[in-house]
Structures are given as C-alpha cells and as structure tokens.
Amino acid sequence: MPVPNLQRPGFAAPLPESADVVVIGGGIAGVTTALFLAEAGVNVVLCEKGTIAAEQSSRNWGWVRQMGRDPKELPLTIESLNLWRDIDRRFGIETGFRETGITYVCRTKAEIAEFTAWEKYGREAGMPSTLLDSAGLQKLLPGIAAQYTLGLHTANDGRAEPERAVPQMASAAVRLGATITENCAVRGIETAGGRISGVVTEKGTIATSSVVVAAGAWSRLFLGNLGLDFPQLKLLGTAARIESDGAVPDMPVGGGDFSFRKRLDGGYTIAQRNANVAPVTPDSFRLFFDFLPTLMTSWRELKLRVNGQTVSELKMPRRWSLDQVTPFEAIRTLDPVPHAPFNRNAVRNLTRAFPAFADARLTHSWAGMIDATPDAIPVIGPIAAVPGLYLSSGFSGHGFGSGPGAGRLMAEIVRNEKTCVDPAPFRYERFSKTAKAA
C-alpha cells in the first residue's frame, strides 16, 4: 500500500445466503451506510472487491470542511461534521478527528477575491468564519511568509486520519452486527418482477431486496452493465507525506497552490492544491458535453493526459454476464501512479509559504482516482427505474468529510425514514438526460 499505515483489520466473514440490504463497496460511503444500518438493527452485508478503504477513502488529504461547499450540499456537510464530532464516542473508535479549524491563505489578487467571496458566503450560511489580515494571520499561523496578506479561518472545520477512520468504522459496523467481506467483488444484481431479488458476487449469490451501490470510481461501470448511465469521470489526485522538524502549525492550511495537514503519526499530508490530472478515456468523449460547463471553469486546474488509465479503460470490458470474471476482480485496488511534478511543486510552494518546511523530507507519495459528477454533487438516493436499487457515489473530491452524513442519509432513505437533511439535491434523476437506459 502506498498510503502510509493503512489499518487492515481484515474482514473475511463467509457470505450469508440472504440479507435485508447489501452494500457494494467498502469506502467511506459504503461503510458509513452499513454502520448506520447496523446500528438501527438492519441485517446488512457489505462486499468489498479489495480491502476496506484502500481506494479514495484512505488516499485523501483528511480534510473535514464545510467552507467552500456548494450551498445545495451544505446541510449534509454540516450534519456530517456534527457526526464526526461524536463518532469516536458513539462507536468506541479512534478516527483521529480533531476540530482544529481550517485556514485558507492568500497571496495573489485572484486568491484574495476567491476567499473574500467565500467569507461572505460562509457568513450568510452562519459559519464561524473570519477574514484575517496580515497581523491576524501571523498570530494564528506563526511563521507564515509575509507575502500572505489575507486568511480565511473557519474555526469548527477539522481533520481526521483517512488511513484509520474507515477501517475503524467498518470494525464498529461488524460489532453492531454487519457482515463485511473483503476480496469479494460484486458482479451484478438479479431482479424478479422488475425489482431487486439478489446480488451476484464472485463468491456466490445473496438474496436481498435492497442494494446500495457505493462503488466510488467504479459506480459508472457497474451501473452501465445494468443499462443505467451514471455520468461520472475520474480525476487523478496526487498527495504525499513529508516529515519536518520545523515549527509549523497543527491546523490544515490551504493556499492557492499548496495544502498541508498535520498527521497523528507526526508527518504532514501535502499536495499541490488545485492541480489534478484528467486521464483521457473513452468516457471523456462519451460524457464531454455533460462535463463541458465544469471543464470551462476549471480547465486551468486540469492536466489532460493519455496515461495508464487511458490504456486500462480502453481494454476494459463494459458489459459482462454474471458468470464471467469482471473488471472488479481484475483490479482489486485502483492504485494509480502519482504525478511526481505535483508533489515537487507542493513542497516548493509550501516552503515559500512556511519557510520552516525547508527541511521537508518526502517519505511517501501516492495517488487516488477522484470520482466526479457534472455538478460536483454526489448522488445519494434510489434509482427509480430499478426498485430496491440505491446509489451513494460521485462525491467529487469531498466525500471523506461528508461521508458520515452521506451514510446516515442513505441508511434513512433505505429504511424509508424521515431524513436528516433534504435529499432532493442528491437525486439520481437530476441527470435526467443521462439517467435513461444506456
């Protein structure tokens, strides 16, 4: 595992013959859904093709933030932060969540304009965010270079430890009665009379009437085999762990071109902020017009590349029958190659902002495939065309922070209960142009 210290408790429960609910995918979306279902006494089984949290959910920066979120998903993000604050006590685990606050720092006119607008938005949304001048920044973040003249600090945002949070949540789900099986790819679903009747895995079939697809970057492929078109593209995010003996703040800090977060293991997770690789794949062409508006606003942050993912997806079958080995078994863990220049730039930009990082020693680097929807908001809800089928996916680079909220919401929707937030912004059918049969 390129991600340092990923906890691997090991989940090898034998597959039961039946379950009330089957969850596909052991990232934060699937695990928190299983956790809240198990807590409510539902008989839930989670199948993970590789290892719990080995894809995006352990590779992220570990930021848990509400600042800068789309207003449509802000209530979910706030609900999620509330859950993070209590999750360790509630389930007897240690996710590493700390309410440290998060600060953005500005150097250029464009950054100042961006974060000043965010402050207005935060104020209107009732967030405890404050704009800081140079003196305020020096006080909050001692050692920051003088060219950073404005900061935006949100006191109740925080951070957690991706390499341990989701494995620990999965262990808690098992203690509450969930069944979790790793190395168990789901190949597809069975229906009877138009609604879900079972889930076919590489290890056998589970009879069930409810299935939650939480397959991260694989959700589009999985649903495509069912004739459902979920508009989702992948972006390659690169990050690294460094060590430094310098006196650097504990709080996560983001500038226009760097980010860092103190880790509980003493190092820092760093990245070049606003920089991702967009692999050119067949889906880039199929979904070009769906993503065009996003592309037009964020093209400066993207490097289009023909790379290993291009080759992999060109060769990947898009249709299979349930007795065939699927791409989910062929690729147990999506482990893309990091884009090394981003990490070099991150160290350089970081050191410019905080000269105490001059002694930074890079110990690990890794990448993860971020799954994105055209409006950068996830789908959390039923797929009306297939009664009993639900989707929780498309978290567009911020699903770690909103994961517990998403899990709670999905569990409530599956149980047909009153929901903690309005689920309307997360409807699958909002992609009505594409939600037709593929």
Ligand X SMILES: Cc1cc2nc3c(=O)[nH]c(=O)nc-3n(C[C@H](O)[C@H](O)[C@H](O)COP(=O)(O)OP(=O)(O)OC[C@H]3O[C@@H](n4cnc5c(N)ncnc54)[C@H](O)[C@@H]3O)c2cc1C
Q: What mask, x for binding ligand X by CB under 6 A, covers residues 200 to 219?
A: --------------xxxxx-
What's the min distance (Å) between Cβ of 217 and ligand X?
A: 6
Question: Using the rule CB under 6 A, is 404 a contact of ligand X?
Answer: no
Tell me the CB-side half-sphere exposure of residue 241, using CA atoms within 13 A: 19
Name the closest residue to ligand X (Cβ): 27
- Region 322-341 residues binding ligand X, contact defined as CB under 6 A: 328
Q: Which is nearer to ligand X, 291 or 328 (CB)?
A: 328
Q: Which two structure tokens, joined as six digits, stand for 22?
A: 């089957």
Strand bridging mode 389-393 / 379-382: antiparallel
Q: How far apart are CA 127 and CA 66, in angstroms?
A: 8
Among 156, 365, 393, 434, binds ligand X (CB under 6 A): 393
- Report the candidate in 5, 45, 1 with the shortest Cα–Cα distance to residue 26: 45
- The amino acid that residue 172 corresponds to is A
Q: Which is nearer to ligand X, 149 or 390 (CB)?
A: 390
What's the min distance (Å) between Cβ of 47 and ligand X?
A: 5
Q: How far is CA 352 from CA 28, 103, 244, in A?
A: 34, 17, 15
Question: Using the rule CB under 6 A, is 60 a contact of ligand X?
Answer: yes
DSSP lists the bridge partners of residue 166 as none
Chain centroid to Cα 378, Å, comes to: 10
Question: Using the rule CB under 6 A, is 399 a contact of ligand X?
Answer: yes
Q: How far apart are CA 144 and CA 105, in angstroms?
A: 9
- Specify whether the CB–CB gap between 76 and 65 falls below 8 A: no
Question: Using the rule CB under 6 A, is 57 a contact of ligand X?
Answer: yes
Q: Which is nearer to ligand X, 9 or 136 (CB)?
A: 9
Question: Using the rule CB under 6 A, is 54 a contact of ligand X?
Answer: yes
Q: What mask, x for binding ligand X by CB under 6 A, covers residues 126 to 165?
A: ----------------------------------------
Q: Which is nearer to ligand X, 150 or 185 (CB)?
A: 185
Q: Which is nearer to ligand X, 50 or 382 (CB)?
A: 50
Q: Quick count: other Cβ atoms within 10 Å of Cβ 298?
A: 16
Q: Which is nearer to ligand X, 237 or 255 (CB)?
A: 237
3-state secondary structure of 409: helix
Among 75, 101, 237, 255, binds ligand X (CB under 6 A): 237
- The amino acid that residue 424 corresponds to is A
Which part of the chain contacts ligand X (CB under 6 A), choosing from 109-117, 224-232, 291-299, 390-398?
A: 390-398
Q: Which is nearer to ligand X, 139 or 294 (CB)?
A: 294
Q: Which is nearer to ligand X, 151 or 167 (CB)?
A: 167
Q: Where are the alpha helices (DSSP H) in 189-307?
A: 219-224, 282-286, 288-298
Chain centroid to Cα 304, Å, comes to: 21
**φ, ψ at 340 (rounded to 5°):** -55, -40
What's the min distance (Å) between Cβ of 215 and ligand X?
A: 3
- Specify whether the CB–CB gap between 46 and 30 falls below 8 A: yes
Which part of the chain contacts ligand X (CB under 6 A), choosing from 15-23, 57-65, 116-124, 175-183?
A: 57-65
DSSP 8-state class, residue 431: G
What's the min distance (Å) between Cβ of 283 and ligand X?
A: 16
Strand bridging mode 379-382 / 158-159: unpaired
Among 140, 239, 270, 275, binds ligand X (CB under 6 A): 239
- Region 365-384 residues binding ligand X, contact defined as CB under 6 A: 368, 370
Q: Which two structure tokens, joined as six digits, stand for 223?
A: 């649903």
Instruction: Compute the residue count for the chain.
Output: 438
Torsion of Cα atoms, 344 then 234 then 404 then 338, to 10°: -20
What's the min distance (Å) between Cβ of 394 and ligand X?
A: 8
Q: Which is nearer to ligand X, 160 or 248 (CB)?
A: 160
Q: Please enumerate in sequence order all residues whose Cβ is within 8 A of that of 401, keeping only pairs 6 or more positions apart, or say none.
A: 63, 64, 65, 66, 77, 80, 81, 84
Q: How far apart are CA 45 and CA 30, in angstroms?
A: 10
What's the min distance (Å) between Cβ of 107 and ligand X?
A: 21
What's the min distance (Å) between Cβ of 125 and ligand X?
A: 18
Q: What mask, x for binding ligand X by CB under 6 A, covers residues 165 to 204?
A: --------------------xx------------------
Site residues (CB under 6 A) for ligand X? 24-30, 47-50, 54-57, 59-63, 185-186, 214-218, 222, 237, 239, 328, 368, 370, 393, 395, 397-401
